[in-house]
Amino acid sequence: GGGGAAVSEAMRAALSAGTRNVFVVAAAAAALGLAVTFLAPRGRIGDLESRRAASEEPAAPQPAASGE
Protein backbone atom coordinates (compact mmCIF):
# COMPACT_ATOMS: atom_id res chain seq x y z
CA GLY A 1 0.00 0.00 0.00
CA GLY A 2 0.75 3.52 0.85
CA GLY A 3 3.28 2.84 3.62
CA GLY A 4 6.22 3.64 1.34
CA ALA A 5 4.80 7.05 0.49
CA ALA A 6 4.30 7.88 4.17
CA VAL A 7 7.88 6.90 5.00
CA SER A 8 9.16 8.89 2.04
CA GLU A 9 7.22 11.96 3.15
CA ALA A 10 8.52 11.60 6.72
CA MET A 11 12.10 11.29 5.46
CA ARG A 12 11.67 14.33 3.24
CA ALA A 13 10.31 16.37 6.15
CA ALA A 14 13.18 15.29 8.41
CA LEU A 15 15.79 16.10 5.77
CA SER A 16 14.18 19.47 5.12
CA ALA A 17 14.15 20.38 8.81
CA GLY A 18 17.76 19.27 9.26
CA THR A 19 18.95 21.23 6.24
CA ARG A 20 17.08 24.33 7.38
CA ASN A 21 18.65 24.08 10.84
CA VAL A 22 22.15 23.82 9.35
CA PHE A 23 21.60 26.97 7.30
CA VAL A 24 20.17 28.85 10.29
CA VAL A 25 23.21 27.97 12.41
CA ALA A 26 25.60 28.88 9.56
CA ALA A 27 23.88 32.23 9.02
CA ALA A 28 24.00 33.01 12.74
CA ALA A 29 27.71 32.14 12.89
CA ALA A 30 28.42 34.31 9.85
CA ALA A 31 26.52 37.24 11.36
CA LEU A 32 28.40 36.85 14.65
CA GLY A 33 31.73 36.74 12.81
CA LEU A 34 30.85 39.87 10.88
CA ALA A 35 29.83 41.69 14.06
CA VAL A 36 33.09 40.71 15.78
CA THR A 37 35.05 41.92 12.77
CA PHE A 38 33.34 45.31 12.81
CA LEU A 39 33.74 45.70 16.58
CA ALA A 40 37.44 44.75 16.73
CA PRO A 41 39.74 47.74 17.14
CA ARG A 42 41.83 48.32 14.02
CA GLY A 43 45.08 49.10 15.83
CA ARG A 44 44.99 45.91 17.84
CA ILE A 45 44.60 43.76 14.74
CA GLY A 46 47.47 45.59 13.05
CA ASP A 47 49.66 45.02 16.11
CA LEU A 48 48.91 41.31 16.10
CA GLU A 49 49.72 41.04 12.40
CA SER A 50 53.02 42.88 12.80
CA ARG A 51 53.99 40.72 15.78
CA ARG A 52 53.25 37.57 13.82
CA ALA A 53 55.28 38.77 10.85
CA ALA A 54 58.20 39.73 13.11
CA SER A 55 58.21 36.38 14.91
CA GLU A 56 58.24 34.27 11.75
CA GLU A 57 61.69 33.41 10.48
CA PRO A 58 62.22 33.51 6.75
CA ALA A 59 62.09 30.06 5.22
CA ALA A 60 65.37 28.49 4.17
CA PRO A 61 65.81 28.56 0.39
CA GLN A 62 64.94 25.29 -1.28
CA PRO A 63 67.61 23.63 -3.42
CA ALA A 64 66.94 23.81 -7.13
CA ALA A 65 65.57 20.61 -8.57
CA SER A 66 67.86 18.97 -11.07
CA GLY A 67 66.38 17.81 -14.32
CA GLU A 68 68.18 14.48 -14.17
CA-angle at 23, arms to 22 and 28, nearest 5°:
100
pLDDT score of 52 more than 80: yes
pTM over 0.85: no
Give pLDDT, residue 19: 96
d(CA 34, CA 28): 10
pLDDT of residue 45: 74
Rounded-to-integer distance, Cα 41 and Cα 45, Å: 7
Q: What sign for the dihedral angle of Cα 30, 36, 39, 42? A: negative
